[in-house]
Amino acid sequence: MSKNQLQQLPSVSEVLLEVKPDTKLHINYITSIIKSEIGLFRGQAKAGKLKLQRGDIVKKILNEIARLAEPSLINIINGTGVVLHTGFGRAPLSKKIISKVAIRLEGYVNLEFDLSSGKRGERQNHVSSIITGICGTESSLIVNNNAAAVLIALNTLAEGQDVIVSRGQEVEIGGSFRIPDVIRKSHCNLVEVGTTNRTHLKDYEQAITKNTGAILWAHTSNYVVKGFTKEVPLTELAGLAKKKRVPLVADLGSGALLDMETIHLPSEEMVNSIVKSGADVITFSGDKLLGGPQSGIIVGKNRFLKAIHKNPLYRTYRCGKWTIALMEETLRTYRSENVVTNDNLSMKLLTTSQNTLLKRGQKILVSIQKKKVKDLGLTVVESMVEAGSGSLPVESIPSAALQFKPRTISVSTLAKSFRTGDIPVVGYIKGNIFYIDLKAVLFNQVDRLTQAIRDV
């Protein structure tokens, strides 16, 4: 039986003859797809489970080639309510900012060229002055993410030496980024002080030796320890570090440039307040609460930043022209500690009121055929969401969601239908109910979301 089935398998050249000439893939990649698909069918044939005829197999392979010829990275509608969703690229970027950058970056740019002198320039200059100005610090650097920022800072200041950190701050964030692991990969020795819930100034003081290279303070941005706790205020830790002449590195994580409470969001430690505390080097993400592209920002005292810039590792972590240009545009959306323009899409989404979202949901509801609304069990409800990526973790943010209680299909089938439709929508299931939260749905995506509901 399997021998007859094996005879149904086409050859690679036979399938290649059927591939459309305008297929937007390299011929070597197309060949590898064909070989892979034939291999799968061969496995079925050997097991006597191949049910397709030769012509149908060729069609299946051609369909797979057509699927892979389309871009893998596509625009989706984020119905999870999580604005800074790591799986969706964290901070969303507005079309206006992307368009401005796309126009400027066509062809060649003065990335490392000084037009005034005609000599080689420095790529950091395009963003360093605006970062230092906003943060009120002496110097700054931008690298490709905050993990890189922490690692290169520690490696520069304390390679082969001890790095002191409180046990209560040995954080882990998504993707298994752990403070102890980063310290070791920085070629530094981890020295733990205090306990999980209580660390005192004397714990740091007693741990400082001639081999101490740095003290690391890590903001526990993705969790909170409550109850019988004690944490050394950063100003006191900075005073001790200055007294002992040991650099103090503060890993802030989210990197808020705004006073969140003034824009009606949960309180978060601001970069400016950490700078004023006296920390020597401060690192934070550019693609979380700041609202920019994936990047890590390092600010602090000039002598330490110069040393970090000269570290050979810097070249492996430096940002390209797209990141720098997008960051420059993002930083220009900030006007003060409580004013940011609507071009900063992350802030715009996070600050959209629940009332506005409820009205938006009702508008969608009345645009859908009544029978469809009934079949899907569709209603608009109040909801609560998190900012995402470990930002603003303590309190939830008021939002609104479309709630689905379908009559004829399961909620998991409905969720998959939304994800795999012509307009991909990703929501979430809770308590056997499917939700599409509106917090992270862009205003210009509302019509597309409405159409996706009609199509599902």
pLDDT digits (tens, 9 = 90+) for 181-217: 999 999 999 999 988 788 899 999 999 999 999 999 9
Residue 179: per-residue pLDDT: 86
CATH number, domain containing residue 415: 3.90.1150.180
Task: Give the highest mean pLDDT range of 217-231, 264-278, 300-314.
Answer: 300-314
The reported pLDDT for the residue numbered 173 is: 66
Work out the average pLDDT over 100-105. Answer: 96
Q: Single out the residue in 343, 377, 398 at which a domain terminates.
A: 343
Calculate mean pLDDT across residues 279-298.
Answer: 96
CA-nearest of 382, 342, 146, 161 to 253 is 146
**The pLDDT value given to residue 254:** 86
pLDDT range class, residue 18, cuts 50, 70, 90: very high
**What mean pLDDT, rounded, does the chain reach?**
93
Q: Which one has a higher pLDDT value, 395 or 407?
A: 407
**pLDDT band for position 226 (cuts 50, 70, 90):** low
Residues 353 and 437: their CA atoms lie apart, in Å, by 13
* Enclosing H/E stretch for 206: helix 201-207
What is the pTM (predicted TM-score) of this model? 0.91
Residue 24: predicted pLDDT:
93
**For the chain, what percent of residues have pLDDT higher than 70?**
96
Instruction: Give the chain's domain count.
Output: 3
Same domain, 55 and 113: no
Q: Where in 222-352 does DSSP place strands (E)?
A: 248-253, 281-285, 296-300, 334-336, 339-340
d(CA 212, CA 160): 9
Please name which of 103, 97, 79, 78 lies closest in space to residue 89, comparing C-alpha atoms.
78
Helix axes 302-310 and 146-158, enclosed angle (nearest 10) = 100
Instruction: Answer yes or no: do 52 and 128 share one domain.
Output: no
Q: Are residues 339 and 353 in the same domain?
A: no
If asked whether residues 334 and 434 sit together in one domain, one would say no
Same domain, 335 and 357: no
- Let me know whether 187 and 106 are in one domain: yes
Residue where a domain stops, chosen among 301, 328, 343 = 343
The pLDDT, as a whole number, for residue 158 is 97
Shared domain for 424 and 451, answered yes or no, is yes
* pLDDT number for residue 198: 86
Provide the pLDDT for residue 227: 57
> Do 272 and 398 reside in the same domain of the chain?
no
Identify the band that residue 264 occupies on the pLDDT scale cut at 50, 70 and 90. Answer: confident
SS3 11: coil
> Are 173 and 51 in the same domain?
no
pLDDT band at 253, cuts 50/70/90?
A: confident
Q: Which two tokens stand for residue 432?
A: 């056997």
231 and 190 within one domain? yes
- Residue 13: pLDDT above 60? yes
Residue 221 has pLDDT above 70, yes or no: no
> pLDDT digit string (tens) for 33-53?
999 999 999 999 999 999 999
The stretch 45-73 carries a mean pLDDT of 94
Which domain-ending residue is among 309, 343, 377?
Answer: 343
Give yes or no: residues 251 and 111 share one domain: yes
- Please tell me the least confidently modeled range out of 231-240, 363-372, 381-390: 381-390
What pLDDT shows up at residue 168? 85
Rounded CA-CA distance 34/32 in Å is 5
Does residue 392 register a pLDDT over 80?
A: no
Distances (CA, A) of 77 to 236, 369, 387, 452: 46, 21, 16, 10
The residue-averaged pLDDT of 8-22 equals 95
CB 357 within 8 A of CB 385: no
pLDDT the model gives residue 195: 84
Q: Which percentage of the chain shows pLDDT scores above 90?
A: 84
Average pLDDT of 360-385? Answer: 96
Can you give the pLDDT at residue 172?
72
Range of the domain at 436: 77-87+349-455
Are 335 and 258 found together in one domain? yes
Q: Which residues are paired to 191 by β-bridges?
A: 164
Task: State the pLDDT at residue 395.
Answer: 75
pLDDT of 223 strictly over 60: no
Tens digit of pLDDT for each residue in 312-343? 999 999 999 999 999 999 999 999 999 999 99
Q: What is the pLDDT of residue 196?
A: 76
Confidence of residue 349 (pLDDT cuts 50, 70, 90): very high
